[in-house]
Structure 1
Amino acid sequence: MASSSQKIEASFSPQIAEAMTILRGLQLALDTGLSPCRIDSDAEVIVNWINIGVVIFSKVGSVIDDIRLLLDQVLCVSFNFVPRTANQVAHMLAKNGLACDENLFWLEEFPSCVGSLVLTECRTCL
């Protein structure tokens, strides 16, 4: 398990920001030696573009191309749309990232801001 909150020093469209978040998550997985078997995102359009595999001639398309290159390096079984209401941990990490002044990383632990949510989600998975 790994997570991060990272500050981005630029302003992007919501689609580019969502795609960059996925890209950074994949980079974190590779950097930590993790191999995700499932990747979930609440950015339905981005998930669809990644899964369909069409070339998109735009700024977000170049980020999606980078995601696809990284997906070739991990043993990812599936890439799925999951509504934000079904993944409160990711939503809280994103909110935490908006308020952070530095890049923060957690490996084999989770930040206190999502502690109760992680424990709740773990109980429902059993």
Structure 2
Amino acid sequence: MHLFLVLPSASSLKLNVDASAVPGLDFVGLGAVMRDDSGFVMGAMAKKVHGIYSPHLAECLAIRYGLQFAADSGLHVHTADSAHGGGSCSAIPCLVNGAAHALARHALALNFKRFWLEEIPYCISSIVVNGVCS
């Protein structure tokens, strides 16, 4: 079964987020990808946050920092998707959220936060180009 990213409606931006954790470590990795209605990556973020969080709270942090990144970049997000259900965001299968998940995993190895605007981070380029995951 192939799952595909659902793009936002015309003239809208969608934020896809994910969080990643490794048992025994006291931090989580957060990833966020913003796309326009044509699928173009408008921005991406990878951030490590210290602390031990439940999966639900880690996803909430990913949404929070993803929305903050969008606001700081002057972008207005209309929809947010997360691989963990809850709240008013859409819960989507992890396979569809591949780029955000890859950024969250990438963030685990970072000593600083990373942001990209109107470029595709190398660590998610194959996922984005294939168009299968967000």
> Shorter-chain-normalised TM-score: which range?
0.5 to 0.7
**What is the TM-score with the length of structure 1 in the denominator?**
0.67
More strand by share: 2
Question: Displacement of 1:14 after TM fit?
Answer: 1.8
Rounded to whole Å, the distance in 1 between the matches of 2:50 and 2:84 is 21
Q: Are residues 1:98 and 2:108 paired?
A: yes
Rounded to whole Å, the distance in 2 between the matches of 1:15 and 1:40 is 13
1:38-82 deviation per Cα after TM superposition (whole angstroms, max 9, x unaligned):
2111111x3xxx22xxxxxxxxxxxxxxxxxxxxxxxxxxx3111
Please list every run of 5 or more consecutive structure 2 residues that lacks an aligned counterpart in the other structure.
1-41
**Rg (Cα) greater in structure:** 1
Query: What's the counterpart of residue 131 of structure 2?
Result: 121
More contact order relative to length (CA 8 Å, sep ≥ 6): 1
Query: What's the counterpart of residue 64 of structure 1?
Result: none
Q: Are residues 1:88 and 2:127 paired?
A: no
More helix by share: 1
1:1-126 equivalences in 2 (<5 Å): 1-44=42-85, 46=86, 50-51=87-88, 79-121=89-131
SS of the residue corresponding to residue 40 of structure 1 reads strand
Preserved CA contact (<8 Å) 2:47 2:112: yes
Preserved CA contact (<8 Å) 2:46 2:104: yes
**What is the TM-score with the length of structure 2 in the denominator?**
0.63
Give the number of equivalent residue pairs.
92
RMSD between superposed Cα atoms in Å = 1.7
Rounded to whole Å, the distance in 2 between the matches of 1:9 and 1:38 is 27
Q: Deviating runs (4+, > 4 A) in structure 1? A: none
Question: Displacement of 1:99 after TM fit?
Answer: 1.5
One-letter amino acid of the counterpart of residue 82, structure 1: I
One-letter amino acid of the counterpart of residue 30, structure 1: A
